[in-house]
Structure 1
């Protein structure tokens, strides 16, 4: 029996952990299983053609909110060209409202709900043999046009699930993609907007199996491993053992974890800040809201003071990047409350601040109680809110603009120094900067127009000029600084006209080479020739003391020389040098 396990990932760089679990569990009895991963941007006909040419008897799709609407046309077309194929769907998106999915998708023969390993294997056994589908726990199907949903299957014993990463040929194709891994299943918390809250308790894979898997992935050259454990640090001793193992064996692989920051123990923080190599760990921290009333409504326990302590200590270590999440549209949080939440979290200066919008996921308590809070949301995935009783659609639209500009100007780290200066000197709060700029961006119609890097600087400059900000010359100087230091190689063009003519430029370059020590010992040590400096260096005159500002945050109106070098012989070869002019 030929079996194809398929899914549509959001991006090519993503990979499916679920498909690899299903194959690992079933292949001992069904060796002819192929994994096919596509993306939501692939053409449906191309997907169907590729699957069709494998001559499958069974095709199973893994379904999520990000791919279900793109998967449906594939299912319908596949059934048209191969009516006898058995089509199975599973995953979180179709594990709830099963009767509705069966009626909506008549081309689907079976829905697997809940954990899929044992259920999928049992279902394949019945398809191949007696077809006693009522004996398979954890599935739904139509019989005589009526939905049949069998009882849920007990949770699988995690010690009985084979590793999803035993196939060395498969691993060869994953080196430059994100590999997902889990040490545990379940979540101890009961947040009403999250599917993980439905499964009570946390179960762990054996530590030795986890270490063997991780070492196999590391040795295979996997560059990024993302742990999908809902709260990785809930078990302190387990988390510490994994952290220590990765520190000892990392080989420069990057590991990303979802942690709950307010329960992070001080001794764990101390260990990581002392022993973790720089940049191998990334922490994703779901803050969602700092409104205590909102957190109480969604049954989310959070101590923001302790969370802040953790985030600040990690940031001060300079070793671990932090990605903090917010959710706009939670019950009881209006526009002004969300503004405060945003400002509270932005003040922690995370490397990335992701602003998302509440999605009314199937099976969650918040969806079941939608009427209580006046929710109106999209009928189809991703079920994002349109408005509720305290947040209007106008508010949602405006916060969307904040999200857009936040991604371009903060999370992309194109001009961190400039943004922080503007917020501190010209705007009431971080949220107000992003909101005003987002509104301006929309008013100019830029949302419908593509952009290059230079355009981002030009558009910010236009916004600042129209707003008539204070100390415009300082803002422009910092924008030049951010632009030049943000390149790996000497930029071929700039978004401004240089303040120096050719004669002045040549004179300054000559003085730099005659007295290289004035630019600092590091530049002096380069021993560059005039030709090298012209080829790999850029200079600009700024109207303030850049070095003083970077060190103290104080603006002194003293002209300074900015020199940025792009050394082709050094990793991360962009360096900034400055002195008074």
Structure 2
């Protein structure tokens, strides 16, 4: 949504917000907040968007044509370098422009950054809205700029640090970013804040212990109405812990469910705080309306205590089991390796316990020591060494060496490649329940793939799992994998399961497992799994997967394989 257009006759001071997104799908809402604040202050304000990996030169030409008095940008972990690349070039061309940077990258000590990056005049620590309004009001007064809470700068070579900007309250005072979005909005989802702050005190988090404030229900409703009017159908609620306070989250869930049935909502929750009331709200929703991301982090109680996290492993697992039992609720769970006191064995144990529950997705990441977090300041206590540049990943801890953390990173790829594809999730959950050594063994078997830059093709992953299940695991896992292979439409004659063409009608005693028995069939195959199955494939070239799958009873005395046919099945050779 670029609106940086040249308007040479505007009498108002002109400014630009540089919005750098990690991908086309991701669009922050800070640009809309700041545009509303700037326009209320009498500025002619424009937004210039960039996507990481995109050339900066065309955007640079557009922004320079505006000759702005101020350029502002929010720096995030994965967009910092793109923002700097643009700002360095811009400042070289227009050195008189005031350049202001904010965002999570500036929550720590900003002296080294400002000394290394003279293209940035001011860095803002903390929530930016109040500081931004004050900067707009005092843009022509260097002395006044130096008194604004949250501002860090170099003044005549001396570093000046004004602490953290005051948290915004009430949040409804922040202008809504949604009315200014185009119709239709072409991104697949949009972010929505309903609270800021977090009552948890997790030492790795930038929001730990900040006061929790809420947007009013009326403001949330108005924002959602604007979102819906722009054709957006997926809303990712950006609260740190959506279920932090029942009096806030339960009415919102009812509003989401009843007033905005067209929208799907992604919520981040603490599984240790799942309550019966929360579950009832999820249970009464239409399946697929809510996608829950559960922040597990670890299931090791000593490590949880080291973090200052209020959860326990028992409460977390209980909440996850109850969430998993809600029909139609998509459940994503997060784990972190490299936490204070954590070991590789803890990461493997956490993964085994979590995958055995069968959430739809698992994300395992290595800890990042983010600027301004308590853990970043306590790194020496835990023997932590982290990368000095984004994404600040931990390289060594007092309890995990370099090689062990590398194994955790490789394990993360194994989870992404082999657990998260829907073809495999149920099978790997079952494997985790059946085999306590499943994950180390799979990590070892997949090791030859893990040095490649990209994920192997899905068919290659099927074949590796087939090898693995042949080696260890109950036969039902191998049968289940073969079922998924044939259902997807991979080769029946040169695949991971024995199959042969089936040229007759479906026997009358066959049981329809899934699919449409009335769909015209072009070809079919019989496979010997736990029981014999017939996989029927349709005539449409754009649909590769089976249109119907039948289970045959085991062959016995007096039973003919080609029995009385089903009238509904139109099987043709």
The C-alpha deviation readout for 1:99-128, integer Å capped at 9, x for no partner, is 222112111111122111121122122225
Q: CA deviation at 1:451?
A: 3.3
Match of 2:9 in 1: none
Match 1:255 to one of 255, 265, 268: 265
User: Contact between 1:258 and 1:283, CA under 8 Å: does it hold in 2?
Assistant: yes
Match of 2:533 in 1: 560
Q: CA deviation at 1:370?
A: 0.8
Match of 2:6 in 1: none
Residues 165 and 241 (structure 1), Cα distance of their counterparts in 2 relative to 1, 3 Å cut: same
The C-alpha deviation readout for 1:386-413, integer Å capped at 9, x for no partner, is 1111101111111211111110111122
Match of 1:555 in 2: none
Match of 2:568 in 1: none
Structure 2 Cα separation of the partners of residues 51 and 573 of structure 1: 53
Match of 1:32 in 2: 44
Match 1:376 to one of 372, 385, 394: 385
Match 2:173 to one of 145, 148, 160: 160
What secondary structure is seen at the aligned counterpart in 2 of 1:191?
coil
Match of 2:10 in 1: none
Structure 2 Cα separation of the partners of residues 38 and 492 of structure 1: 43
User: Contact between 1:332 and 1:390, CA under 8 Å: does it hold in 2?
Assistant: yes
Match of 2:116 in 1: 104
Deviates more, 1:21-30 or 1:190-199: 21-30
Match 1:577 to one of 539, 544, 550: 550
Please show how residues 520-531 of structure 1 align to structure 2 within 5 Å.
520=512, 526-528=517-519
Deviates more, 1:74-83 or 1:289-298: 74-83
Residues 41 and 190 (structure 1), Cα distance of their counterparts in 2 relative to 1, 3 Å cut: same
The C-alpha deviation readout for 1:215-267, integer Å capped at 9, x for no partner, is 22123221211111111112212211111111112333210111112222212
User: What TM-score does the superposition give when structure 1 sets the normalisation length?
Assistant: 0.85
User: Contact between 1:25 and 1:118, CA under 8 Å: does it hold in 2?
Assistant: no
Please show how residues 80-119 of structure 1 align to structure 2 within 5 Å.
80-119=92-131
Match of 1:205 in 2: 215
Structure 2 Cα separation of the partners of residues 142 and 380 of structure 1: 22
Match of 1:550 in 2: none
Match of 2:440 in 1: 432
Q: CA deviation at 1:80?
A: 1.9
Residues 122 and 69 (structure 1), Cα distance of their counterparts in 2 relative to 1, 3 Å cut: same
Please show how residues 147-546 of structure 1 align to structure 2 within 5 Å.
147-150=159-162, 152-157=164-169, 158-167=171-180, 170-172=181-183, 174-199=185-210, 201-273=211-283, 275-420=284-429, 422-423=431-432, 427-442=435-450, 445=451, 447-448=452-453, 451-461=456-466, 468-469=471-472, 477-486=479-488, 496=495, 499=498, 505=501, 508-512=502-506, 518-520=510-512, 526-528=517-519, 532-534=520-522, 538-545=524-531
Residues 80 and 492 (structure 1), Cα distance of their counterparts in 2 relative to 1, 3 Å cut: farther
Q: CA deviation at 1:193?
A: 1.0
Structure 2 Cα separation of the partners of residues 152 and 256 of structure 1: 30
User: Contact between 2:48 and 2:59, CA under 8 Å: does it hold in 1?
Assistant: no
The unaligned stretches of length 5 or more in structure 1 are 546-558
Q: CA deviation at 1:173?
A: 5.1
User: Contact between 1:406 and 1:434, CA under 8 Å: does it hold in 2?
Assistant: no
Residues 175 and 280 (structure 1), Cα distance of their counterparts in 2 relative to 1, 3 Å cut: farther
Structure 2 Cα separation of the partners of residues 49 and 29 of structure 1: 26
Structure 2 Cα separation of the partners of residues 344 and 175 of structure 1: 39
User: What TM-score does the superposition give when structure 2 sets the normalisation length?
Assistant: 0.86
User: Contact between 1:76 and 1:107, CA under 8 Å: does it hold in 2?
Assistant: yes
User: Contact between 1:289 and 1:295, CA under 8 Å: does it hold in 2?
Assistant: yes
Structure 1 Cα separation of the partners of residues 322 and 477 of structure 2: 30
Structure 2 Cα separation of the partners of residues 377 and 566 of structure 1: 56
Residues 89 and 491 (structure 1), Cα distance of their counterparts in 2 relative to 1, 3 Å cut: same
The C-alpha deviation readout for 1:73-96, integer Å capped at 9, x for no partner, is 222122223323221110011132
What secondary structure is seen at the aligned counterpart in 1 of 2:362?
strand
Q: CA deviation at 1:567?
A: 8.0
Structure 2 Cα separation of the partners of residues 383 and 478 of structure 1: 41
The C-alpha deviation readout for 1:525-567, integer Å capped at 9, x for no partner, is 7534xxx300xx653412322xxxxxxxxxxxxx333346698
Residues 376 and 48 (structure 1), Cα distance of their counterparts in 2 relative to 1, 3 Å cut: same
What secondary structure is seen at the aligned counterpart in 2 of 1:187?
coil
User: Contact between 1:8 and 1:37, CA under 8 Å: does it hold in 2?
Assistant: yes
The C-alpha deviation readout for 1:464-505, integer Å capped at 9, x for no partner, is 66xx44677x6554333223444xxx669986288556xxx2
Q: CA deviation at 1:192?
A: 0.9
Larger helix fraction of residues: 1
User: Contact between 2:385 and 2:394, CA under 8 Å: does it hold in 1?
Assistant: yes
User: Contact between 1:402 and 1:438, CA under 8 Å: does it hold in 2?
Assistant: no
Structure 1 Cα separation of the partners of residues 269 and 481 of structure 2: 34
User: Contact between 2:355 and 2:432, CA under 8 Å: does it hold in 1?
Assistant: no
Structure 2 Cα separation of the partners of residues 14 and 385 of structure 1: 26
Residues 143 and 334 (structure 1), Cα distance of their counterparts in 2 relative to 1, 3 Å cut: same
What secondary structure is seen at the aligned counterpart in 1 of 2:294?
strand
Residues 78 and 483 (structure 1), Cα distance of their counterparts in 2 relative to 1, 3 Å cut: farther
Structure 1 Cα separation of the partners of residues 47 and 365 of structure 2: 31
Q: CA deviation at 1:51?
A: 3.2
The C-alpha deviation readout for 1:320-365, integer Å capped at 9, x for no partner, is 1111111100111112222222222222211111101111111111
Q: CA deviation at 1:4?
A: 1.5
Residues 422 and 104 (structure 1), Cα distance of their counterparts in 2 relative to 1, 3 Å cut: same
Structure 1 Cα separation of the partners of residues 230 and 503 of structure 2: 48
Match of 2:71 in 1: 59
User: Contact between 2:336 and 2:365, CA under 8 Å: does it hold in 1?
Assistant: yes
Structure 2 Cα separation of the partners of residues 356 and 93 of structure 1: 19
Structure 2 Cα separation of the partners of residues 281 and 568 of structure 1: 34
What secondary structure is seen at the aligned counterpart in 2 of 1:27?
helix
